[in-house]
Amino acid sequence: MSERTVFFLSDQTGVTAETLGHSLLTQFDGQKFRQVTLPFIDTEDKARDAVRKIDKSAERDALRPIIFSTLVQDELRSIVKDANGLHLDIFDVFLEPLEAELQLKSTHTAGRAHGMSNIETYMKRIEATNFALANDDGGITQNYEVADVILVGVSRSGKTPTCLYLALQYGVYAANFPLTDEEFDSGALPELLLKQRDKLFGLTISPTRLRQIRKERRPLGQYSSAQQVRYEIREAEKLFRRYDIPFVDTTEFSIEEIASRILDSKGVERRVRP
Amino acid sequence: MSERTVFFLSDQTGVTAETLGHSLLTQFDGQKFRQVTLPFIDTEDKARDAVRKIDKSAERDALRPIIFSTLVQDELRSIVKDANGLHLDIFDVFLEPLEAELQLKSTHTAGRAHGMSNIETYMKRIEATNFALANDDGGITQNYEVADVILVGVSRSGKTPTCLYLALQYGVYAANFPLTDEEFDSGALPELLLKQRDKLFGLTISPTRLRQIRKERRPLGQYSSAQQVRYEIREAEKLFRRYDIPFVDTTEFSIEEIASRILDSKGVERRVRP
């Protein structure tokens, strides 16, 4: 199958172009894509350089590239328009109807979306990240009162990455507490969790996947044995059901999806929107 | 100023709709937006519920809402289309030109973008996150050979959140090493960093901002004194210049922007594209 090259053009980070493009491209089976991000196109020279790169890849692939562009400044847009490819430009399409609806002219300023428009936003994300790190793996538990959500689950069920994602993406304060033999033996959650029962959210995972993940950490021993892994997961899910804790199976979901389901299920407000 | 409500509709997480919408809305000054994400609209009931919410807010605001939608399934799209608002739909606009260009029909399957299309991608992000956590703050230094990038900078200059973001967003292996009196006194970087010189990237920050951040951590003492903060930043930048290490000032940038600049400057490949 011949490859098609996809370019993400931006005068900023390229995150918006990448996100949009990825959403659309996943709708197509039967085509392989080579993805190239060209960020920080903020001068005419850089715009011309982007055109050269695109044209070169059009020649090499013998298929014209697809170009997702989020350039804001008109001079740069008009340079890039000459590149050989299918141009898909969100500002072209959506800015005009928005201007009409809001009865405002857009500012056409580069770098608004993921620039530091707001120091407060930056600080909130950093603080939430620090919170997630400090309250990881049951390390500190006295901060549960300020947590927005507390994830519970067995070791390596995805708690830490999910907490960090919630912090970085949404500024949400997420702590996590590992379920271990102490909880399984007693069949009960500790008092410090039960006091915050409405903040609890469970993560579970398939035994096969959990073994695979644990084996990379510790190849030998009980920790990654089939029996142990099955036991822990079964007991954890029993606890979720006993205390009526909503939970998701992280085997099937991406980090974005786990995070969104948690916010949705617990009704937690996003503190920032990057 | 009257508020305008903005809805992000998705049969999945809503990340794409949020990202697109945010990029466009930041182009408008003079209008306040109340943002609501309605994720996981994957049944006709949920679609009708979304319509009710949108219509209700249109009535309350006396201004029709703006609706960024990334619903894929036609039945759900047609229900949502009845909601009172300005509809901006990326599939409406971009799917047809893409189908024509690729000479393929799109699959119209929900949940491709941030669903677990790929276990490998999930694992790469988790592994990179574990790498960032293990190699944070100079904790472990023997893994620098497998790092894609090593961030250096003074305490609280933004190293940890940036490493975690690089890991979660792009699966990039980012370690970080704090610059302290040991480096400032000798005016030199340790051998273990110099061996990986082409992986080094510096973070700096304004003295005012650094003081502000440090004071939240430790309000008293030398750590957050104006003199100490100025001294550390000056010495760190001296080291960056001495060893010709590229660096950015994190005072001015969002986490996304810092991360993109690092990848761009070091030519580091994104291992995953969420």
8 A C-beta contact, residue B80 and residue B69: yes
Instruction: Give A24's contacts in chain B (Cβ within 8 Å).
Output: 90-91, 94-95, 98
| ipTM (interface pTM) | 0.78
Could you read off the pLDDT of A74-98 as tens digits, one per residue?
899 999 999 999 999 988 899 889 9
Tell me what percent of the residues of chain A surpass a pLDDT of 90: 62
Instruction: Give B122's contacts in chain A (Cβ within 8 Å).
Output: 254-255
Q: How far is A186 from chain B (nearest CA, A)?
A: 30
Mutation target among B24, B69, B157 for the A interface, most CBs of A within 10 A: B24
B142 lies in the same domain as B234: yes
> In terms of Cα–Cα distance, which of B18, B85, B16, B92 is closest to B52?
B85
pLDDT, mean of residues A243-265? 92
The identity of residue B115, as a single letter, is G
Q: Cα separation of B125 and A255, whole Å? A: 9
pLDDT for B270:
84
Q: Of B97, B273, B274, which has the smallest distance from its Cβ to A88's Cβ?
A: B97
Could you read off the pLDDT of B220-261 as tens digits, one per residue?
888 889 999 999 999 999 999 999 999 999 998 889 889 999
A140 lies in the same domain as A221: yes
The model's confidence at residue A116, banded by pLDDT at 50, 70 and 90, is very low
Close Cβ partners of B198 (under 8 Å, ≥ 6 residues apart): B266
- Tell whether the model's pLDDT for residue A45 goes beyond 80: yes
Ranges A254-258, B6-10, B245-249: which has the least confidence: A254-258
Q: Cα separation of A76 and A39, whole Å? A: 13
Mutation target among A20, A77, A88, A99 for the B interface, most CBs of B within 10 A: A20
B131 lies in the same domain as B78: no
Phi, psi of B203 (to 5 degrees): -115, 130
Q: Is A27 in Cβ contact with B95 (below 8 Å)? A: yes
With left for phi above 0 and alpha for psi between -120 and 50, is residue B69 left, alpha or beta? beta
Q: Cα separation of B262 and B214, whole Å? A: 24
Tell me what percent of the residues of chain B surpass a pLDDT of 70: 96
Tokens of B86: 């300005």
CATH number at residue B83: 3.40.50
The model's confidence at residue A115, banded by pLDDT at 50, 70 and 90, is very low
- Tell whether the model's pLDDT for residue B171 goes beyond 60: yes
Last residue of a domain, one of A75, A102, A129: A102
8 A C-beta contact, residue B174 and residue B151: yes
A31, part of any domain: yes
8 A C-beta contact, residue B192 and residue B144: yes
pLDDT for A58:
94
Residue whose structure tokens are 């702590």: A175
What letter would DSSP give residue B197? G
DSSP element (H, E) containing A35? strand A32-38
The identity of residue A242, as a single letter, is R
pLDDT, mean of residues A153-168? 95
- Tell whether the model's pLDDT for residue B198 goes beyond 50: yes
- Tell whether the model's pLDDT for residue A112 goes beyond 80: no
* Domain of residue B19, residue span: 3-102
CB A170: neighbour CB atoms within 10 A? 25
Phi, psi of A87 (to 5 degrees): -90, 125
Q: Is B19 in Cβ contact with A161 (below 8 Å)? A: no
Q: Is A90 in Cβ contact with B20 (below 8 Å)? A: yes
The identity of residue B135, as a single letter, is N
- Tell whether the model's pLDDT for residue B117 goes beyond 60: no
pLDDT, mean of residues A54-66? 93
| Number of domains chain A contains | 2
In three-state secondary structure terms, B89 is strand
Could you read off the pLDDT of B33-57 as tens digits, one per residue?
999 999 989 999 999 999 999 999 9
pLDDT for B113:
54
Could you read off the pLDDT of A6-33 as tens digits, one per residue?
999 998 888 889 989 988 998 888 788 9
A271, part of any domain: no
B73, part of any domain: yes
B70 lies in the same domain as B21: yes
Give Cα A81 distance to the centre of its chain: 31
A1 versus A80: the higher-pLDDT residue is A80
Whole-number average pLDDT of chain B: 90
CB A19: neighbour CB atoms within 10 A? 23
Could you read off the pLDDT of A181-222 as tens digits, one per residue?
999 999 999 999 999 999 999 999 999 999 988 988 787 888
pLDDT, mean of residues B147-151? 96
8 A C-beta contact, residue B7 and residue B65: yes
B111, part of any domain: no
Q: Cα separation of A233 and A253, whole Å? A: 17
Q: Cα separation of B223 and B218, whole Å? A: 7
pLDDT for B110:
59
CB B126: neighbour CB atoms within 10 A? 21
Q: Cα separation of B185 and B101, whole Å? A: 61
B151 lies in the same domain as B225: yes
A25, part of any domain: yes
B51 lies in the same domain as B148: no
B144 lies in the same domain as B258: yes
CB A107: neighbour CB atoms within 10 A? 13
- Tell whether the model's pLDDT for residue B114 goes beyond 60: no
B92 lies in the same domain as B198: no
B241 lies in the same domain as B152: yes
The model's confidence at residue B143, banded by pLDDT at 50, 70 and 90, is confident
- Tell whether the model's pLDDT for residue B115 goes beyond 60: no
A108, part of any domain: no
> In terms of Cα–Cα distance, which of A116, A124, A130, A170 is closest to B15?
A170
Q: Cα separation of A21 and B70, whole Å? A: 12
> In terms of Cα–Cα distance, which of B190, B203, B201, B198 is closest to B141?
B190
The model's confidence at residue A229, banded by pLDDT at 50, 70 and 90, is very high
pLDDT, mean of residues A113-118? 53
B107, part of any domain: no
pLDDT, mean of residues B18-28? 89
The model's confidence at residue A111, banded by pLDDT at 50, 70 and 90, is low
> In terms of Cα–Cα distance, which of A214, A226, A199 is closest to A158?
A214
A233, part of any domain: yes
